[in-house]
Amino acid sequence: MFRYFTAGESHGPGLTGIVEGVPAGLELTEDYIEQHLIRRQKGYGRGGRMAFEKDHANIQSGVRFSKTTGAPIAFLMTNRAYEKDDSNWPIVMAKDGERGDIERITLPRPGHADLVGVQKYKFDDIRPVIERSSARETAMRVACCSVARKFLKELGIEIGGHVIHLGSIGYENWNAVRTIADPLADQGAESIYKEADESDVRCLDPELSDQMREEIKVKRKEGTSLGGIYEIIVTGLPAGLGSYVHWDRKLDGLLAQAIMSTQAMKGVEIGLGFDAGKTHGHNVHDEIIHENGSFKRRTNRLGGIEGGMTTGMPIILRGVMKPIPTMIKPLKTADLDTKEEQDTRYERSDVCALPRAVVVAESVIAPVLANAILEKFGGDSMEEILERYHHEE
């Protein structure tokens, strides 16, 4: 089974990742990983870091002549901010010596891990909390999860996401999204992300894209920030991944955990999600039909999962991201030392990271799906797995 670990701080020398449980014989290159890393870095609403931070995951082990060997895959990714000639970070983040006169951070930022982090770990400086809770870590998550994503692709399973709401701008309803996204999903979910990537806010509708961009411009001027809602679609799945027999094997629960473990996510929906509670059953449940030799659903309002198992229809999952907590216009906070009320300090930050978060969400669900596949069709090598997988079909 796929497992992965990440380590590293936002302004330390770099990030490390280890992916374990990858079958042998999967074609994998740094270029494949890099395309998703680059996607994660692109999007309207970015702050200053983008200008110098070009991510590259260096494969250290587990791959030989572009094929996985079955051994753990280790990645190294440097933080260019640390490496720049005039960088102060090697001093601030030094692993030896004393802190000396290096500034302590004592103003916790609302909406961040800052205050609870120092309370929990008994720090007198917020710096270590900022460094590890930062979404910089998602760069390594994308690298690690791209291995699972490539594995799925070999089986014809594709993942693609797009933005459906950014601040107050978005599609009118479920059907409006279906009209634009489903014809693309019919060609495989990667068509969705490829089309969405044409827009710097990752929205499939050009008119909405313009409005979203404008919304970001306005909110940037106001010194505030924005979040929104994205939709991830997975196509090419067989029926019966996951299980209804035990709570920790239900695929919808596992997918939700993966999304909720990502920085700034505040909710997950499958299919109609919360809207399903606002209408009656005939507007929600998908009728079963038998067509061209197999069972299907006439609609897909339950988002491809029933009883914790894939139905064979595409998975439709949505996630909501809260607005970025670091904002130019300050909020009030209390100083750790003096306990006095103060304005938060602004450090370079994105105004809206939603378009980038789409790529993170696409990535983090890949190991969950890959494990559901391995549970059912598992083997040590791609050859073995592909044979079992296609035998089942």
Ligand X SMILES: Cc1cc2nc3c(=O)[nH]c(=O)nc-3n(C[C@H](O)[C@H](O)[C@H](O)COP(=O)(O)O)c2cc1C
- Which residue in 20, 41, 47, 76 binds ligand X (CB under 6 A)? 47
Q: How far apart are CA 316 and CA 314, in angstroms?
A: 6
The answer to whether 267 contacts ligand X (rule: CB under 6 A) is no
Nearer to ligand X, 276 or 324 (CB): 324
Whichever of 134 and 342 has its CB closer to ligand X, that residue is 134
Of 73, 105, 113, 208, the one binding ligand X by CB under 6 A = 113
Cβ atoms of 45 and 351 within 8 Å: the answer is yes
Task: Between 130 and 309, name the residue whose CB sits nearer to ligand X.
Answer: 130
Among positions 281-300, residues that touch ligand X (CB under 6 A) are: none
Find, among 373, 109, 346, the residue nearest to 241 by Cα: 373
d(CA 353, CA 359): 11
Half-sphere exposure of 224 (CA within 13 A, CB side): 9
Q: How many residues does the chain have?
A: 393
According to CB under 6 A, which residues from 334 to 373 bind ligand X? 349-350, 353, 356-357, 360
Rounded distance, CA 330 to CA 142, Å?
A: 31
Q: Do residues 177 and 185 touch, judged by C-beta distance below 8 A?
A: no
> How is 139-161 classified by DSSP, letter by letter?
HHHHHHHHHHHHHHHHTT-EEEE
Closer to ligand X by Cβ: residue 296 or 322: 322
> Residue 138 interacts with ligand X (CB under 6 A)?
yes
Q: Which long-range contacts (CB under 8 A, 24 or more apart) does 49-58 make?
A: 49/81, 49/348, 52/80, 52/81, 52/84, 53/79, 53/80, 53/81, 54/80, 55/139, 55/143, 56/30, 57/17, 57/30, 57/33, 57/140, 57/143, 58/30
Rule CB under 6 A: say whether 141 interacts with ligand X.
no
Tell me which of 79, 133, 209, 311 binds ligand X, using CB under 6 A.
133
257, 308 Cβ separation under 8 angstroms: no
Report in angstroms how near the CB of residue 382 gets to ligand X at its nearest. Answer: 31
Between 111 and 312, name the residue whose CB sits nearer to ligand X: 111
Q: Which stretch binds ligand X (CB under 6 A): 4-12, 133-141, 146-154, 273-281?
A: 133-141
Binding status of residue 112 toward ligand X by CB under 6 A: yes
Element (DSSP H or E) covering residue 343: strand 341-343
Which residue stretch of 2-10, 75-83, 108-116, 328-336 sits at the interface with ligand X (rule: CB under 6 A)?
A: 108-116
Choice between 272 and 353, CB closer to ligand X? 353
Binding of residue 263 to ligand X (CB under 6 A): yes
Backbone angles phi, psi at 261, to 5 degrees: -80, -5
Question: Total binding residues for ligand X by CB under 6 A?
Answer: 21
Structure tokens at 341: 């009320």
- Identity of the residue, 67 or 322, whose beta carbon is nearer to ligand X in the bound complex: 322
Residue 315 in the binding site for ligand X (CB under 6 A):
no
Determine, following the binding rule CB under 6 A, whether residue 333 of this chain makes contact with ligand X: no
Footprint of ligand X (CB under 6 A): 47, 111-113, 133-135, 138, 262-264, 322, 324-326, 349-350, 353, 356-357, 360
